[in-house]
Amino acid sequence: MTPVFPKVKSIAVALLLPLVSFAGSKKDTTSVAALSKQLYESGNKNYIVADAVKDGFLYEGQPFSYEYDNGMLNINGDVLPSPYNKQYIAKMETFLEKEQGSTRAKFSMTGTKLNLDELAKENRNRKPTEDEGNAEAERNRLMEEVIDEMVADGLIKDKAHMTLKWNKGGIYVDGEKLDGASEKKYAVKMETALGYKPKLPSDGYRLSRNSSTE
């Protein structure tokens, strides 16, 4: 009778070989994570490319693309599997709130050959365009006018120490929700200042000031 166990053992070894080979060729996640952090902290939304390489969704030397559209993310044309999709979107929303005071944004990136060294180099040389700088300055100026009016209306007691949040649920000043005429008045003013109105759960604007840190 032919023994069974040697065959089973051979099959098991054959199945394990590809896994061992793949593990040995994985990208150094420590250096990629460091690049992601550098891009993130410098205000470069393409940190997401480094994250995708770290997590095995993109590969150096290969074509790549990603698109972010108001809380929806595709990498190489596909939605990431759970729980990665939720984690990536949450991180991007935190990034956008930090950089522009709102989570509303649409942008993309495409390349024929992913090169993390080039991405790092471009980030070191990156400067905001004149249009980006002017648009942000204008939004900040208009929002400062809105805040000054809130102070005049008695909604904000100290504009150097305050919080302002606007999302689909309404406008919150120092944790208190505006209602009635005040809510309608400032919804119009904030939409004019920011250029949008929250329509999706991922949309929003947040501003926090603390006089002790300014």
pLDDT range class, residue 84, cuts 50, 70, 90 = very high
Please state, as a whole number, how many other Cβ atoms lie within 10 Å of the Cβ of residue 64: 20
- 3-state class of 155 per DSSP? coil
Q: In this predicted model, what pLDDT tens digit does every residue of 104-155 receive, in sequence order?
A: 888 999 999 999 999 888 888 766 555 555 777 788 889 999 999 999 999 9
- What mean pLDDT is predicted for residues 79-98? 92
Provide mean pLDDT across the span 158-184. 92
pLDDT for 197: 83
> Of 95-99, 158-162, 204-208, which has the strongest mean pLDDT?
158-162
Residue 141, H or E segment: helix 130-152
**Arithmetic mean of pLDDT, 44-49:** 94
Q: What are the pLDDT digits (tens) for 3-31?
A: 444 443 333 333 333 333 223 334 578 88
Return the structure tokens found at 179. Answer: 């209602």
Domain limits, the chain? 27-125, 130-209
- Across the strands, what pairs with 102? 205
pTM: 0.56
pLDDT at 19: 32
24 vs 18, 28, 31, 182, 213, CA distance in Å? 10, 10, 16, 61, 47
> What is the layout of strands, in order, in the sheet containing 73-75?
73-75, 64-69, 106-111
**How high does pLDDT run on average in the chain?**
81
Q: What pLDDT is recorded for position 89?
A: 94
Give the three-class secondary structure for 172.
strand
Q: Is the pLDDT of residue 192 over 70?
A: yes
